[in-house]
Amino acid sequence: MKYVPGKTYAENSATARRSGASESTAGNTSGNTSAANASAAHLSAERGTRARVARLILEHGPVTAASLGERLGLTPAAVRRHLDALLADGMIEPRTARPRGQRGRGRPAKLFAITDAGRSTFVHAYDDLAGSALRFLAERMGDEAVSEFARAQVFGLVSRLESVMREVPADQRIRVLAEALSAEGYAASATETGKGGEQLCQHHCPVAHVAAAFPQLCEAETEAFGQLLGTPVQRLATIANGDGVCTTHVSSHALAVRHARSHETTSKESGR
């Protein structure tokens, strides 16, 4: 307590108490602000990590908790916390799959897959407006007009990649296409099938709800894939049809060349 001349001891004590109370209040306020900021930062980090978990499940699911932890560098407890939150929000769903080579034996592996609700959080297309526009087009001009519209929609992708594909070796084109589709929000990947071809997988479709009503969109896209890759392709599954992933089988370029030569030989022989 600092003594002020001319004041009694009681007055000096009262002044000191008021000063101490003011300092204490300021200290508490500062402490509360720091705690609030720290809490907000922690909450923001949690949301960011949870979004990364959901994105990873969207792109690579169904996946195990262990795989998620390895990819994101998270502890099992942290992964479980985020998975529980996503499950509670209906963003993901559990699935089971037995390990290969262990039929009927061992504990089934637990996988996590994105749900329709989870996938919809990544959708940025105006589904309602697009659906209404296509219905209007179909009613006024017929289904063929919708098909023409669908082909026009994928023309942009074809025109951008045609020149690129000519410079890329045939066995690398599918990966270039997957990268281009991912850049447009389709979360695409390419994998070998071991059966003379590869699979192009699209784990996300921004227009899935519209394509469910107008399959011409998927058909035009498939045609564009074949044109860009220069080899026969076959659509095996679509998100629009209720499947978890859009899957397209792509025949190997060597197989396509053999098929073309065989067809050419057959044509010549039949023309004799």
Tokens matching residue 52? 């990364």
Angle between helices 216-229 and 173-183 (to 10 degrees): 140
Both 111 and 163 in one domain: the answer is no
Largest CA distance in the chain: 129
Residue range 214-269, pLDDT digits in tens? 999 999 999 999 999 999 999 999 998 988 899 999 998 755 555 445 545 445 55
| Other beta carbons less than 10 A from residue 195's beta carbon | 11
The answer to whether residue 178 scores a pLDDT higher than 80 is: yes
Both 72 and 155 in one domain: the answer is no
Q: What percentage of the chain carries pLDDT values higher than 70?
A: 69
The answer to whether residue 30 scores a pLDDT higher than 70 is: no
Residue 236: predicted pLDDT: 95
Banded model confidence at residue 96, pLDDT cuts 50, 70, 90: confident
255: burial class by Cβ within 10 Å (0-12, 13-18, 19+)? middle
Q: What is the CATH number of the domain that holds 223?
A: 3.30.1380
Both 113 and 151 in one domain: the answer is no
Residue 126: predicted pLDDT: 52
pTM for the full predicted model: 0.55
Which letter, b or e, does each residue of 164-186 get, where b requires 16 or more Cβ atoms within 10 Å of its Cβ? ebeeeeeeebbebbbebbbeebb
Banded model confidence at residue 3, pLDDT cuts 50, 70, 90: very low
Enclosing domain of residue 133: 127-261
Both 188 and 216 in one domain: the answer is yes
CA pair distance 195, 252, nearest whole angstrom: 9
Residue 142: predicted pLDDT: 93
Both 79 and 142 in one domain: the answer is no
- Rounded to the nearest 5°, which phi and psi values hold at 81? -60, -45
Both 74 and 145 in one domain: the answer is no
Residue range 46-83, pLDDT digits in tens? 777 888 898 888 888 789 999 999 988 989 999 999 99
Q: What is the CATH number of the domain that holds 29?
A: 1.10.10.10
For range 147-153, the mean pLDDT: 91
Tokens matching residue 11? 């007055």
Residue 58: predicted pLDDT: 84
Mean residue pLDDT of the chain comes to: 79
Contact 161, 177 (CB under 8 A): yes
231: burial class by Cβ within 10 Å (0-12, 13-18, 19+)? buried
Tokens matching residue 124? 């940025």
Torsion of CA 256, 258, 260, 262, to 10 degrees: -150
Both 138 and 80 in one domain: the answer is no
Residue 86: predicted pLDDT: 93
Contact 63, 111 (CB under 8 A): yes
Number of domains within the chain: 2
Both 144 and 112 in one domain: the answer is no
Both 167 and 202 in one domain: the answer is yes
The answer to whether residue 123 scores a pLDDT higher than 70 is: no
Residue 73 DSSP symbol: T
Both 74 and 200 in one domain: the answer is no
Q: Is residue 272 part of a domain?
A: no
Q: Is residue 218 part of a domain?
A: yes
For range 145-164, the mean pLDDT: 90
Q: Is residue 87 part of a domain?
A: yes
Q: Is residue 267 part of a domain?
A: no
Residue 269: predicted pLDDT: 53
Residue range 4-29, pLDDT digits in tens? 445 554 555 555 555 555 555 555 55
Residue 125: predicted pLDDT: 43
Residue 19: predicted pLDDT: 58
Both 146 and 243 in one domain: the answer is yes
Banded model confidence at residue 95, pLDDT cuts 50, 70, 90: confident
Residue 31: predicted pLDDT: 57
Q: What is the DSSP track for 169-214? A: -GGGHHHHHHHHHHHTT--EEEEE-SSSEEEEEES--TTHHHHHH-
Residue 103: predicted pLDDT: 52
User: Of 213, 212, 191, 194, nearest to 202 (Cα)?
Assistant: 191
